[in-house]
Structure 1
Amino acid sequence: MVIVGVGDDARLLCSLARRLQWRVTVAYHATGKATRERFPAADELQIIPRFAFEQVDVRGKYVVVMSHNLELDREAVHKMLTPEVQYVGLVGSRYRLEKILEPIRNPGEPERAIEPALLDKLYSPVGLDIGAETPEEIAMSILAEVTAVKNGRSGGFLRDRKGAIRGGGKEASLPASQPSFLNEPTFPESCRV
């Protein structure tokens, strides 16, 4: 995962992503906030020149753009939304997304055009709709969406899913002799107190 941004929300996302075993790169230009002390959970802190997002390797990666600066976010989306990236999530409203895409869609600047098919990899507003309000909930919402995209899922309720919950095989069921959450559990001898 690549995180573009160094705000407190980026710190939370980085920390939670690492707890979920993501390899995290934080990419940003040199500022007092782009430090190892602020991002101890990051596997890599990549300091790049301002607007030089093409220097960040996004091949096969999931990118979350959250600088909260319109020009920086626009450049990050423009340069990171490539055929090689798996996902680009952009923090902000639909109105903000339109402001970011406006110059990129401008036919007067063909060198800045983005292939329409690539827009399918752009998710904004980013995150699953779980009613997230707090920064922690927003980070969880973002990671839930990224995980759903990575796993080829929609992110809906499991109770609404038909067929197997995990993997592509048939639904798993417990043998009749196996305890379930409805019965008294049995524990191996080594676990008993």
Structure 2
Amino acid sequence: ELVIVGVGDDARLLCSLARRLQWRVTVAYHATGKATRERFPAADELQIIPRFAFEQVDVRGKYVVVMSHNLDLDREAVHRMLTPEVKYVGLVGSSYRLKKILEPIRQPGEPERKIDPALRDKLYSPVGLDIGAETPEEIAMSILAEITAIKNGRFGGFLRNRKGAIRGEGTDASLNASTSNPSFLDEPAFPESCRV
């Protein structure tokens, strides 16, 4: 399952591609004109939460991509969602932005909140595999490729450099089952409504 934090056009594109790859997708965000079912028809769930209330989103056993492009929202999302139970948290942005997001959060009347260093291995930022992605479509593909590599315990290198078997314990039957739906194959790869 994939949780997307953000409602921009890049989030719509990631949602659409993830659903095409048969992920169950939840888009979690606060109430805004962009957080609508019309903008995210591919989402299995659109979870409207109070602003900054990311602890309300169930991330247990899930993969999360934080892409609100708002420093305060992204910081709060990472601090709240990077838990021992989450599988992966990917953060869109630069290494400099990551440094700002990892700074402790100090709220008046609350104890300082810091990210547990033991959880840092679950945080991937800049998010995505290094494939030279530039277009929104390539970036979405890079992000989902990284998530797939993490899910399958791989590093995402070139198959020609791999020693031993290329495939895990999966079978051709599982591949055929995922591509046997003709309507899935007939759909455009990126619906016009999701283009950035």
CA contact (8 A) 2:36 2:46 kept: yes
Larger radius of gyration: 1
Residue in structure 1 matched with residue 194 of structure 2 by the alignment: none
Q: Counterpart amino acid of 1:27? A: A
Identify unmatched segments of 5+ residues in structure 2.
171-196
Q: Distance in 1 between matches of 2:148 and 2:65?
A: 12
- How far residue 114 of structure 1 moved from its aligned partner, in angstroms, is 1.9
When the two chains are superposed, the root-mean-square deviation of aligned CA atoms in Å is: 1.7
Distance in 2 between the 1:77 and 1:104 partners? 11
CA–CA distance in 2 between the matches of 1:28 and 1:165? 39
After the TM superposition, which residues 1-193 of structure 1 pair with which residues of structure 2 at under 5 Å, given as runs? 1-104=2-105, 111-167=112-168
1:135-178 per-position Cα deviation (integer Å, ceiling 9, x unaligned)? 00000000000000000000000000000111159xxxxxxxxx
- Higher RCO, 1 or 2 (CA under 8 Å, sep at least 6)? 2
Q: What letter corresponds to residue 130 of structure 1 in structure 2?
A: I
Work out the CA distance in 2 between the residues paired with 1:88 and 1:110: 24
Q: TM-score, normalised to structure 1's length?
A: 0.83
Moved runs in structure 1, 4+ residues, more than 6 A? none
Give the Cα–Cα distance (whole angstroms) in 2 for the partners of residues 159 and 110 of structure 1. Answer: 51
Asked if 2 retains the 8 angstrom alpha-carbon contact of 1:104 and 1:114, the reply is no
Contact 2:105–2:113 (CA under 8 A) maintained in structure 1: yes
Within 1, Cα distance between the matches of 2:36 and 2:111?
37
Looking at structure 2, the residues matched to 95 and 31 of structure 1 have their Cα atoms a distance apart, in angstroms, of 28
Aligned residue-pair number: 167
Unaligned runs of 5+ in 1: 170-193
